[in-house]
Structure 1
């Protein structure tokens, strides 16, 4: 199963988990370039025109694998911690650079299925707790994110496509993240970073 050819659909209402300034009225495609080394793991987030949006910094040797997402002013927006040693993989997304306020959690649906995750968050636009379904293909090369349950006809508000550098000497891969209008792009970037880590594990 893959979602590369499926179109993203604008949700019936805005999805705001981090801040409303990260919600746009038109679709946007972001490119996340990952560069791997023994001591660090940094992501550069740009759009397809090369404009900067975010920067993510983290330490891959940290057992919690914490990563911090910064805006263009180098202000920490959110941070991500992964729990990968339990029976079910889990990622927690916090506001800012500390662990005081949880923005969202991403949980593996069950131990036997490594391709389905649920992202739970508080939607500021609706003033209630909601969830996104994350469905990945077996190879980890694509992921569809649905506003609700896919099997119930929920709209796919984002699709993630992974492309690996063909060079044998390169450890880079690019994620192309197509996001529908009305969707918090900071939340989706965090989900993409979690997707990358979970698929590697």
Structure 2
């Protein structure tokens, strides 16, 4: 069976701005960022994730405070938001600050036979309405697209997520790096939150494949 990917699909600007969190994290030009996930033991960073640009300038630093909770800091170590992930049943929520009093986005899983799909609901400060983005990924979370609406209805893809693969890509406990390509006019913070979830699911996919491989030897 052919695996669905989003590597060649065109990224498009949304018809209006998308700001669930802060306009200061929204840019007028497309942005390419890199998410590094630190998995090696002993760890090579005190953080679990770091987001940089193509010149290795840090933008965000992320710490796991529990297996299901990740806190995202800016370059000055100010807490911006936290992500809470539960696997069974799948529940993902993004909250401003260090608590869950202000919810920025919540996830609803979406049944599909061709891709891994989630719908994230958020309040858009630009339109002053509750809106959604669809996050569609291949079954191994190596490639994904985030759409402002529903992909099959022609919604623009506003962000692409890709694993930077090499000969060791399927090893479970090696550091991983992902490319985040974001359209102009899109709040980077929500895309970073979704990229972190994408990386976490990529890790669990590799872990499950390794466990299955061990059982079949």
The question of whether the paired residues in 1 share the 8 Å contact of 2:40 and 2:175 is answered with no
Change (3 A) 1:164 1:170: farther
Structure 2 Cα separation of the partners of residues 116 and 170 of structure 1: 26
Partner in structure 2 of residue 161 of structure 1: 162
Gaps of 5+ in 2: 205-217
Counterpart check, 1:49 vs 2:52: no
The question of whether the paired residues in 1 share the 8 Å contact of 2:37 and 2:199 is answered with no
Counterpart check, 1:33 vs 2:32: no
Structure 2 Cα separation of the partners of residues 197 and 50 of structure 1: 22
Partner in structure 2 of residue 70 of structure 1: 73
Counterpart check, 1:172 vs 2:175: yes
Structure 2 Cα separation of the partners of residues 81 and 192 of structure 1: 13
Runs of 4+ that moved beyond 4 A? 37-41, 111-114, 167-170
Counterpart check, 1:127 vs 2:128: yes
Change (3 A) 1:8 1:169: closer
Structure 1 Cα separation of the partners of residues 20 and 172 of structure 2: 38
**Greater fraction of residues in helix:** 2
The question of whether the paired residues in 1 share the 8 Å contact of 2:62 and 2:72 is answered with yes
The question of whether the paired residues in 1 share the 8 Å contact of 2:146 and 2:159 is answered with yes
Q: Larger radius of gyration, structure 1 or 2?
A: 2
Structure 2 Cα separation of the partners of residues 198 and 106 of structure 1: 14
**Greater fraction of residues in strand:** 1
CA deviation map 1:10-54 (0-9, x unaligned): 111000011000000000111001011579861010011212111
Pairwise CA RMSD: 2.2
The question of whether the paired residues in 2 share the 8 Å contact of 1:95 and 1:103 is answered with yes
Partner in structure 1 of residue 147 of structure 2: 146
Gaps of 5+ in 1: none
CA deviation map 1:97-155 (0-9, x unaligned): 11111100122213877601111111011101000011101221100100001111100
Q: By how many angstroms is 1:199 displaced?
A: 4.0
